[in-house]
């Protein structure tokens, strides 16, 4: 395995587990501890990790904007679990707005047998994957953020404002009881905020690693969300807040 390939695999492990250990990695890749230390040093120079005693942790800034291709490999089993849990929330004939998140893409893969679904989305990946499906797909248009395969900007927002839908499906970079839903970048946060405004109900798909975290920019208050679908039982503080605000929780 080439060094660049090994470092890519190390980043996948870090995205899944937040921390890695030199000895574990040397056994996994069948190389010396010193080789792994050099790999971690190079990743630290790229501002991707922070080395610590015996290993490294992921360098997770509030504004860290992970590419779609990297995000699609992060916590993939959790996304599949969430998608299966959320499938029954969508009915034949529903009109949907869907963001450009990898978790929402996972859910759409379980909705292929639903009939007469209309989907308005700013995700070019979603459009490409379901081009031959029975979904009626409306693209928002707009400026392409190639990093995330998302269409953003004034044109996308104006398109969204033309429609009123049954449900919006969104994910987020982070969520906090007091700070609400947050994103790593302003353009996609604005799109999600507008989608929420146009929908009768809002469904948030968020794995447990995003709870009690902070990201760069606020999208909306948690009270604007009708249903949260996640992969693990949240703590008692979340239960109390969800009950007080009449939010449905599925895990």
pLDDT tens across 185-226, in order?
A: 999 999 999 999 999 999 999 998 899 888 889 999 999 999
Q: Tell me, what's the pLDDT at 12? A: 80
The predicted structure's pLDDT at residue 14 = 81
pLDDT, position 209: 85
Domain boundaries, the chain: 3-58, 68-250
pLDDT at 78: 87
Mean pLDDT of 230-251: 94
Out of 75-79, 152-156, 158-162, 219-223, least confident range: 75-79
- Higher-confidence residue of 66 and 250: namely 250
> DSSP string of the chain?
--HHHHHHHHHHHHHHHSEEEHHHHHHHHT--HHHHHHHHHHHHHTTSEEEETTEEEE---TT----HHHHTTTTHHHHHHHHHHHGGG--TT-EEEE-S-HHHHHHHTT-TTSSS-EEEESBHHHHHHTTTSS-EEEE---EEETTTTEEESHHHHHHHHT--EEEEEE--SEEETTTEEEESSHHHHHHHHHHHHTEEEEEEE--GGGBT---SEEEE-GGG-SEEE-SS---HHHHHHHHHTT-EEE-
Asked whether residue 63 carries a pLDDT value surpassing 70, the answer given is no
Evaluate if residue 55 carries a pLDDT over 60. Answer: yes
**Residue 115: pLDDT band by 50, 70, 90 thresholds?**
very high
Mean pLDDT confidence for 150-170: 98
Tens digit of each residue's pLDDT (9 = 90 or more) over 116-141: 999 999 999 999 999 999 999 999 99
What's the pTM? 0.75
CATH code of 68-250, in short, is 3.40.50.1360
Mean pLDDT, residues 151-155 taken together: 98
- For residue 215, the model assigns a pLDDT of 86
For the domain made up of 3-58, the CATH class stated in words is mainly alpha
Residue 64 — pLDDT band, cuts 50, 70, 90? Answer: low
Q: Provide the pLDDT for residue 204.
A: 98
Identify the pLDDT of residue 126. 97
Over 70: is that where the pLDDT of 9 sits?
yes
pLDDT in the model for residue 190: 97
Q: Cβ neighbours of residue 54 under 8 Å, at least 6 residues apart?
A: 21, 22, 23
Confidence of residue 94 (pLDDT cuts 50, 70, 90): very high
Close Cβ partners of 224 (under 8 Å, ≥ 6 residues apart): 180, 196, 202
């Amino acid at each position: 395995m080439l060094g660049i390939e090994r470092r890519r695999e190390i980043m996948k492990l870090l995205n899944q587990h937040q921390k890695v250990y030199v000895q574990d990695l040397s056994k996994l890749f069948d190389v010396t501890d010193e080789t792994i230390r050099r790999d971690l040093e190079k990743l630290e120079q790229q501002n991707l990790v922070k080395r610590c005693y015996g290993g490294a942790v992921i360098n997770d800034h509030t504004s860290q904007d992970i590419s779609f291709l990297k995000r699609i490999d992060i916590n993939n089993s959790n996304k599949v679990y969430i998608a299966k849990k959320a499938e029954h929330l969508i009915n034949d004939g529903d009109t949907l707005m869907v963001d450009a998140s990898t978790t929402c893409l996972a859910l759409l893969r379980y909705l292929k047998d639903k009939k007469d679904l209309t989907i308005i989305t700013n995700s070019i990946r979603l459009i490409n994957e379901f081009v031959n499906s029975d979904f009626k797909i409306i693209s928002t248009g707009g400026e392409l953020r190639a990093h995330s395969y998302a269409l953003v900007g004034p044109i996308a927002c104006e398109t969204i404002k033309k429609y009123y839908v049954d449900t919006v499906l969104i994910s987020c970079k982070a969520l906090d009881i007091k700070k609400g839903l947050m994103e790593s970048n302003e353009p996609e946060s604005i799109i999600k905020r507008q989608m929420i405004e146009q929908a009768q109900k809002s469904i948030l798909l968020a794995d447990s690693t995003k709870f009690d975290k902070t990201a760069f920019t606020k999208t909306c208050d948690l009270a604007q969300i009708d249903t949260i679908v996640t992969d693990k039982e949240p703590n008692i503080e979340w239960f109390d807040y969800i009950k007080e605000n009449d939010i449905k929780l599925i895990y």
